[in-house]
Chain A
Amino acid sequence: MTPSAFIEEADLHALVDGELDPERRRKVEDHLLQHPEDAALVEGWRRQNAALRAAFEPVALEPPPLSLREAAARPPAPPVGQGPIETGAIHWGRPGAAPRPMRKLDEIRASRRRQALASTLLTLVAGAAVAVAALLFLASRPPTQSPMLTRAATSYAARAGLTYATYILDAHPVEIDAARRDELLAWLQERVGFSRAPDLSGVGLRLLGGRVAPGVAAPAAFLIYQRDDGARVGLYFERAEAVAAPSGQRGQGVTVIEWRASGFAFVLVGALPPDAMQVAAEAAAAAVLAPPTETK
C-alpha cells in the first residue's frame, strides 16, 4: 500500500495484469524486491485472479447449452432489453445445425396442418354427399309403397299355402277337431282375435277342425274342411288391413283365394277345382260377414 515515489499502486495492478512495458515492468519488480508488503499485495491479487479462474474456468470448458449454439447466427433476435429472454429454445436436431432444420420443421408442420385440414374437409364433404344420396334414395321410396302391400298380400296367400301344405296331409291335420268347436273358437278368439268357423256345408264342405298357425305378422287361424270324397280345403285367416281386393291364383293344383273382411285377411286354400273353390270362398265370405249370433 505504500509504493515508492516512482511506483504507484496502479503500477502494481498493471504488473499483475500485464499492462506494463518491459522497462517499467523491471522497475516495478525491483521495487517489489525491496518492499515485501507491496509484493504481498501483488501476490494476493494474483491469488484472487487464480481463485476467480479456478471458480469459473469450468464454465468455459463445458459444452454450451443447445440454446447458445450459434445464437449469434439465429435470425430472430429479440431487441435489446425488450421482450422476454428466450429460455427454452431447445432445438431437437443435430447440434450446430439449428436454424435451418427449425425452419424446415416449421414448414413441414405447416404443410402437415394443411394436409390434415384438406383431408378433414374432404371427409366431411364425402360424408355429406353420402348422406344426401341416402336421403334422396329414401325419399324416392315412399311412392312405391304399394309393392310392400302387395307383397304382404301375397305373403298371406303364400303363408296360407305353406300352412296348407304343412297340415293338410298330416296325420293330425287339426289341433282341435270339430267336435270341440266351442273350445276351438275360444282358442282362436284368444290368439287370433276372430272366432268364427264359417259353415260351408252348403257347398259340401264339413269342418274337420282347426289350429293356430304362424301367420305373416301375427298368429293365424287355419281351419280345415273336408268334402265327402276326402278332398280337403283350408281356410286361413290372420288380422290384416282390409285393403286388397279379392284375388285368386292357382298353382301346382292348389287354388288359393284371398279376400279381406272385418280387418282380417282370409285365404281359402284347396285342391278343389277353381269353380268349387270360388263357390266355397263366396260361401265362407258370406258366413264371415254374417251376424255372429247365427254361427253361435
Chain B
Amino acid sequence: MGRRADIVAGLGGATPALRRYARALCAGAGPAIADDLVQSALQSVGARIRSRELRPADLAEARIETYATLVALAEKKLGNAPVPAARHPPIIHGLAGLAFDERAVLLLVSLEGFGYDAAARIVGASRETALAQLMRARMALGAEGLRPVAPLESGRRAVSHLRIVK
C-alpha cells in the first residue's frame, strides 16, 4: 500500500516531462489539448495502480505506463494530422509532417531520452519496428529542410520570445 502510494506520488514528479512530451507530440495543436492528455493519462494510471489493475515494480515502470497511456490517448485524440499555426518554428511544422508513430518514437528517444527498448514498449511495437520508425522520422525531419545552420539558436529564440506566461 505504501509503495503504491509512493509510486503514485512519484508520478507527480514526471509531470513536467510528460507535459513536454505531450506538447511536442501535439506538434502545435495547442497546449490545452496537451495538458488535457497529460491529466487524463496521469489520472488513469493513478487509478489503475490504486485499484491494483496495474502493478508497476518501480517508478520507472509506472512512468513508462504513463507515457504509453499518453501515447494511446493522443493517437485517439489527435489522429494523424495536427495543424500547427504558421507562427510556430519550422521544427514543429517538421514534427507535424511526420506520421504519428514516427513522431511518438522520435520524441521518446530524442526529447525524452528513452532507450530503444523502453520506447518500443511505450508505443507497443517491437524494438526493430520502433528503430525503423525512428530512422524514418529522422530522415523525414532532415529532408523537411530543418535549418542546417544553427537550428538550436533559432529554435531557442522563437521559444523564448513566445513564452507562455499564464
Can you list, as one digit per residue, whether each of B1-37 has a CB less than 8 Å from chain A (1) or not (0)? 0000000110110011101110110000001100111
Q: How far is the CA of A45 from the CA of B35 in the complex (A)?
A: 28
Q: Which residue of A lies closest to B109 (CB)?
A: A17
B45 to chain A, nearest CB (A): 6
A75 to B134, CA, bound (A): 37
Instruction: Select from chain A the residue with minimum beta-carbon distance to B44.
Output: A80
Grouping DSSP codes into helix (H, G, I), strand (E, B) and loop, the B interface class, with mixed when no group exceeds half, is helix
Q: Given that A13-B134, A59-B23, A60-B17 are contacting pairs, would A68 and B35 also be in contact in the complex, using a CB cutoff of 8 Å? A: yes
> Of the candidates A14, A17, A71, which one forms a contact with B38 in the assembled complex, judged by CB atoms under 8 Å apart?
A71
Whether the pair A68, B159 counts as a contact (CB closer than 8 A) is no
What are 12 A-B pairs with beta-carbon distances under 8 A?
A47-B152, A51-B146, A52-B91, A52-B106, A54-B159, A55-B24, A55-B158, A56-B24, A64-B19, A71-B39, A71-B46, A73-B8
Instruction: State A60–B15 Cα separation when bound (angstroms).
Output: 8
A87, B42: Cβ atoms under 8 Å?
Answer: no
Given A50-B151, A77-B47, are A72 and B12 also a contact pair (CB < 8 Å)? yes
Q: Which residues of B contact A (CB under 8 A)?
A: 8-9, 11-12, 15-17, 19-21, 23-24, 31-32, 35-40, 42-47, 49, 66, 69, 72-73, 76, 89, 91-92, 95, 106-107, 109-111, 115-116, 131, 134-135, 138, 141-142, 146-148, 151-152, 155-156, 158-160, 163-164
Q: How many A-B residue pairs have CB under 8 A?
A: 153
Known A55-B89, A80-B73, A89-B39; contact A64-B146, beta-carbon cutoff 8 A: no
